Chain A
């Protein structure tokens, strides 16, 4: 039995509890009594994957169905992988401890581009050929993917049988129903995939033929076998009523986000032009305060978690946030549960809201102005003014905080050295503000930490046309930043841009990158998002061998009429809107948020109603 073999080596690896399952909340079924088995794979370590909310939702949702069994699979750490390869332990799922290659569906959630090589590594560890074309025509081992990265899944097209676009709560079950039905009729994989392509939200890459121009850009994406020329994403219409788990798998080891979490809203009204999630997850929908409170209590009771978080892209944009907090706080205080509110915006960070947070925890505060000058903030449509940043910091300092973390991006479109210096100037004004406050915390200095990330242009954003700043440009900007630091109270950290360059390449890549990913993985690339594992040289060589360049994908400007590799995928955001927003960005004109004024992005036309009444 595989379990015995696994247990023989578990004490030789770090944190073995990650590899044996058995956590409270995990679902065990009799495999003889289920008709479809789904291996939900997160292409990163247990500690990261177990923190992912989408997996918890789809895990519970699938397991609600008596005849379906969804299990969890994560990428093993390199210490355990070495043992697995040496001892012929195939990749297995944590509930049954059965090999992944026994499963009907092998589903990956693609949350970030730098996890792509882990997919290949996990398939290989499972003993499953990494290329879809090498996996035969039997209706079994269907390898699928969902998540934000599949809005441009083209670099992954060679490895997957199909992609699930948009929200999975309905379409995942429809897909499994179809599989069950066709399997019982003895259908082939090909027949299944053709039928699956007719379900809204299912994209079967092998049913689309891509041709290229001489300059390397995409010429045409042709549908085959009568499939629709455009694949539309799926969304949940009634978000207040959508399935939400009342139980989570509660891990034994500590993980990144180890807490109960309720999704309070989906989508975002803000329209920050750099933010892919803000466009991909439209339309904005929220749960009622009553639903949120009910789900939060059920989750706390069933998991025993001592921390509860209200998750979303921008929790303070919930129209009933005050009702939610007043409904939850008496409960969380009585039950000794810490309430955490990630994703708060600077502009509506009120004294009341901070008092609520302070009841819970008194660590530092984090804000993301994203750009150092008002002009550049207008370009990216981050509608936050310096006054608002200052007002919020004042409230924070008066409330006893002494640490403020500010997040910025570097390499934004139209950015100049003045904008970079503006970052430090803003930080300096925050420092000055602290010392001007008479009610500031006594006997303590202030610490303003600046963290900068290299901007990565993403599909389905108004910046999808933009070149990424080159390595040389980023290095120059970092030098300007470091040289402008005017005070010991300001600390700036920055990162090597290599991973951001690769991220930009993969985000807007085409199908030809499949070979590059494959070659890079063969050279040993995996866990590319982990500093200690990332190897840029592997990637450079892989590009050379394929006769492609990173610059073509990362730092090339696209014309408005260029065919993008993802143009056949419909996320309800119209190209006209993106072009319009791109032009406004270049003119440093802002766009109001969706509640104030509809910017006609295309979503309301698709859903057949206004997003806001």
Chain B
């Protein structure tokens, strides 16, 4: 059995496909592709697909990661082309390779967040936002219900870009099984914090980072 990892983009209309629907969508995409994919052997066999990280509805991504198995060896470029021929609009495989590490090695994820409004103004507002002693919010978790957390130690600014009517911010946030901070936790606090108001135009996952602080592969 051959373990395969694919990195794909999820953009445009595809950003409205929810995580649950994406699984079903990929099952059908693999079926359409005719690739020799491995099925689970339970009572209700289905194609084994493991997504590394969920992506919120409405977010775009350049680096979605999924693992699957093939029962025969197929060249990586053939896998990529075969899948891309039957992918829905907006989803495109960009890389196929043999996985080096487990999904549990994922530690961070970078998101590009675009805010509407004067770049300069929003930049200084964000500075003020980050100067707060604590950035407290309530996080809903599956097991513990609601939990009060301080976001400040977990927000790392990677880059900022000011345009006349846009503010583009790249943040590194904890991701993975241990700790996961959704960018919406930050934007939901920051948007009402802005004195002149703003609006999130788009969010896109740019990079997935491993515990070694390198790109996750």
Q: Which residues on A are within 8 Å of B, measured CB to CB? A: 10-11, 15-17, 20-24, 250, 252-254, 300-306, 335-336
Contacts and interface: CB of A to CB of B under 8 A. Distances in A.
Contacts of B90: 22
A309 to B, nearest CB: 16
A303 B28 contact: yes
A305 B24 CA distance: 10
Contact of B28 (A21, A253, A306): A306
B124 interface: no
Nearest to B17: A252
B149 interface: no
Nearest to A251: B21
A24 B89 CA distance: 7
Given A24-B25, A303-B32, 14 more contacts: A11-B58, A16-B16, A17-B16, A17-B18, A252-B17, A252-B21, A252-B24, A254-B21, A304-B29, A304-B31, A305-B28, A306-B27, A306-B31, A336-B39
Nearest to B47: A336
Contact of A304 (B12, B13, B27): B27
A499 B31 CA distance: 42
B27 A10 contact: no
19 contacts: A15-B18, A16-B57, A17-B16, A20-B13, A22-B14, A24-B28, A24-B32, A24-B88, A252-B17, A252-B88, A253-B18, A254-B24, A300-B31, A301-B32, A303-B32, A305-B28, A306-B28, A336-B45, A336-B46
A301 B30 CA distance: 10
Interface string B79-122: 00000001111100000000000000000000000000000000
A599 to B, nearest CB: 45
B86 A24 contact: yes
Chain A to chain B: the 4 pairs with minimum beta-carbon distance, closest first: A304-B28, A22-B13, A304-B31, A304-B32
B34 interface: yes
A302 B86 CA distance: 9
Contacts of B22: 252
Given A11-B57, A306-B46, A336-B39, A21 B29 contact: no
A250 B28 contact: yes
Given A17-B18, A253-B21, A303-B32, A23 B27 contact: no
A298 to B, nearest CB: 12
Given A336-B39, A336-B45, A17 B21 contact: yes
Contacts of A302: 32
Contacts of B46: 306, 336
- Determine which residue in A15, A301, A306, A335 has the highest number of CB atoms from chain B within 10 A of its CB, and name it: A306
Contacts of B86: 24, 304
B29 A10 contact: no
A304 B83 CA distance: 12
A305 B34 CA distance: 12
B28 A10 contact: no
B15 to A, nearest CB: 9
A252 to B, nearest CB: 5
A10 B59 CA distance: 12
Contacts of A305: 28, 31
B45 to A, nearest CB: 5
A20 B16 CA distance: 8
Nearest to B59: A11
B34 A301 contact: yes
Nearest to B25: A252
Contacts of B31: 300, 304-306, 335
Contacts of A306: 27-28, 31, 46
Nearest to B89: A22
B88 A23 contact: yes
A6 to B, nearest CB: 10
Interface in B15-57: 16-18, 21-22, 24-25, 27-32, 34, 39, 45-46, 57
A11 B58 CA distance: 7
A492 to B, nearest CB: 32
Nearest to A23: B88
